[in-house]
Amino acid sequence: MTDALPRIESIDRALALLDALSHAGAEGTSLASLCAGTAMNKSTAYRALATLRARGYVRQDRVNGNYALGPAALMLARRYSSGDSLAASLHPALVALCRRADELVHLGVLNGDQIVYVDKVEPQHVIRVWSEVGRSVAAARTSLGLAILAYSGVERHQLSAYLHDPQVGAVITEEKLWAALDHARLHGYAYEIGQNEPGIACFGVPLLRAGTAVGALSVTTFAGALTASRRAELAALMKEVVPPLLTAGLSLPAALGG
């Protein structure tokens, strides 16, 4: 059906180049590689790239000449995946998860080394935790933060950026943080027990776009309730309830529950 739709050739070429650059990553790629991948001649591709550069959607490395996505393109994705946008589109998923799990559910996004709560849905029974929409907490202490960091390409030598606060470092060490991220990558979820708030435990799962976390969902319960069997139950519940309610392009980790 889409093949029959009218197209503006110059826009179609520009979009093809942007798509190719999205796969090239931060290192970018050469004009020759772009032409080979898009079946475009060099002069045509060069003109299209020059226009995209002028609008900030493409940048060119001054040393090797490689092209990569520019700040304007990245900002589009950031605005689309902003906390407000995610909260509005994912609220039904939080409601459904809260009702099925009968637990407090949060949606959070990463802002620097902090997690910002952007939505929450409370169960019928009351569980008293110190959380409210708009509040920020240290990412390294929360299941939301651990889940996001595990799927954000953070390397071990970069962990100190998330542990610089003495209050955070007193609770979690670099070794413990790296082990938590390893666990999250292996099993598709992160969890913490009493790490952010005494007597409280959280189970967090990242929300992925093209394999990279743009946010996370968490289920909050009492510390004694988050046993290994309960974590397995929550992983299965997440896989059942959440995916049908996600917006296009978002997914849960394939490893979830493994």
**Pair of tokens at residue 28:** 């970018």
pLDDT-derived band at 82 (thresholds 50, 70, 90) equals: low
For the chain, percent helix, then strand, then coil, each to nearest 5?
A: 50, 20, 30
pLDDT of residue 70: 84
pLDDT given at position 188 = 96
- With 50 as the cut, is the pLDDT of residue 1 above it? no
What distance in Å separates the CA atoms of residue 227 and residue 193, rounded to the nearest whole number? 10
Please tell me the predicted confidence (pLDDT) of residue 142.
94
What pLDDT does residue 49 have?
95
- CA-based angle 14:52:26, to the nearest 5? 95
CATH, range 81-251: 3.30.450.40
Taking only Cα atoms into account, the Rg of the chain, rounded to an integer number of angstroms, comes to 21
**E-state strands within 74-171:** 104-111, 114-121, 136-138
Beta strands in the chain, from DSSP E residues, in sequence order: 58-60, 67-69, 104-111, 114-121, 136-138, 190-193, 200-209, 212-222, 250-251
**Summary mean pLDDT of the chain:** 88
CATH code that applies to domain 2-76: 1.10.10.10
Residue 123: pLDDT over 90: no
Least confident of 34-48, 55-69, 160-174: 160-174
- 84 band by pLDDT with thresholds 50, 70 and 90: low
* pTM flag (> 0.75): no
Q: What is the DSSP letter of 247?
A: P
Distance CA 2, CA 20 (A): 20
Is the pLDDT at 41 greater than 90? The verdict is: yes
| DSSP H or E stretch at residue 233 | helix 228-241
| 3-state class (DSSP) for residue 69 | strand
Q: What is the pLDDT of residue 80?
A: 57
CA–CA separation, 53 and 50 (whole Å)? 5
pLDDT single digits (tens) 130-166: 566 778 889 999 999 999 999 998 999 999 999 987 7
83: confidence class by pLDDT, cuts 50, 70, 90: low
Question: Tens digits of per-residue pLDDT, 211-244?
Answer: 889 899 999 999 999 999 999 999 999 999 999 9
Domains of the chain: which residue ranges?
2-76, 81-251
| pLDDT value for 156 | 92
Helices (H) and strands (E) in the chain, counts: 9, 9
